Amino acid sequence: MQIKPMALLQSTAIAAVVLFIAGCDSEPAQPEQWLYHCGARTISVTDMGSESIDVRQDGKLYRLVATAAASGSRYVSADQQVEFWSKGHEATLNKQGNVMPVCILDGHLPSQYTAHGNQPSWQLRSSDLTLHEVRNTTPRQWVLHDQQGNAVELTAGHCVDSMSGRYYPYQVDYTRNDQLLKGCGGDSQRLLAGSRWALVGTMNKPAGPQIEFGTELSVSGFTGCNQFRGSYRLTPEAFGFNPLAVTRKACETEIMATEHDFLRQLLEVEQFSFDDQGRLLLHSRGGEPLLWEKTSESQA
């Protein structure tokens, strides 16, 4: 039975050899730890020995033990409520039926992605690219080659498409026929999925609006009075929220009026962006954007 995420077995074995050579006078080895990026959230996975791992997310710790799996490495909690399942450099984290976006081991690219640019228009698929070099820089960089041997450099960081204004997770430099073509890469949804935000100016209030982006384009949140849930649209050309289901709790008249205005603004949103502090802006036509600060805990 594999007792560690598959991508980590080789490095663990090397560490064990080094520890053996070092001899008995060496200091005790620290537990190995790896970071995974699950959409917009990051989790840490620590090897605790005895076929167990600790998974930490948003300050919460889960102890999981290895169990049988048809493929990859699978760990579950004693109460069967939390599951971590790794396959190659990707993994899934399932907490009480709530599956997080696909988790990618730090330093690696998703198994499937696209890169594109404008003027002239071009597009590349991950299946057409071969990894040549990983640069352990800040931000991280990957150098790949297309089928003709042309260099494609991906840099982690927000990239804004020059035509649509859409945000993507990678900046791309594509050298083709001695011409440098700039573009964006990755999936825009990973910038939102798994993240929770509180409306700026309300974070210290007990009833401040919140919004959380889940997997499969789902969304949920709190208006300041009622809970809401639904879905959103995300294509290269469009972003916006579909009609939302809202609970019917009655609150004070002023709060209800604020809720009504908030929901109206939310349904008028047609673009998202980020400021230089990493805060989320939801833009509607002709109105002031809604500004959100990332948070890990629900205030509702």
Local structure of residue 31 (DSSP, 8 states): P
Considering the chain, what percentage of its residues have pLDDT values greater than 70? 87
- Which pLDDT value is given to residue 30? 78
Please say if the pLDDT value at position 299 is more than 70. Answer: no
Exposure of 89 in the CB half-sphere (CA atoms within 13 A): 10
Average of per-residue pLDDT values in the chain: 88
Residue pair 109/54 in contact (Cβ under 8 Å)? The answer is no
CA distances from 261 to 221, 224, 267, 290 (A): 15, 11, 10, 12
Residue pair 20/26 in contact (Cβ under 8 Å)? The answer is no
Amino acid letter, residue 28? P
- pTM, entire model: 0.84
At 151-197, the pLDDT tens digits run: 999 999 999 999 999 999 999 999 999 999 999 999 999 999 999 99
Residue pair 16/3 in contact (Cβ under 8 Å)? The answer is no
Residue pair 79/64 in contact (Cβ under 8 Å)? The answer is no
Q: Between 42 and 236, where is the model more confident? A: 42
Separation of alpha carbons 5 and 93, rounded Å: 12
Lowest mean per-residue pLDDT among 38-47, 98-107, 279-288? 279-288
Residue pair 145/134 in contact (Cβ under 8 Å)? The answer is no
- Which pLDDT value is given to residue 86? 96
Which domains are seen in the chain, by residue range? 6-105 (2.40.128.200), 114-187 (no CATH), 192-294 (2.40.128.270)
At 86-104, the pLDDT tens digits run: 999 999 999 988 899 999 9
CA distances from 34 to 2, 17, 47 (A): 16, 19, 9
CA distances from 60 to 43, 44, 46, 238 (A): 10, 11, 13, 35
Q: Cα angle at 83 between 61 and 134, to 5 degrees?
A: 80
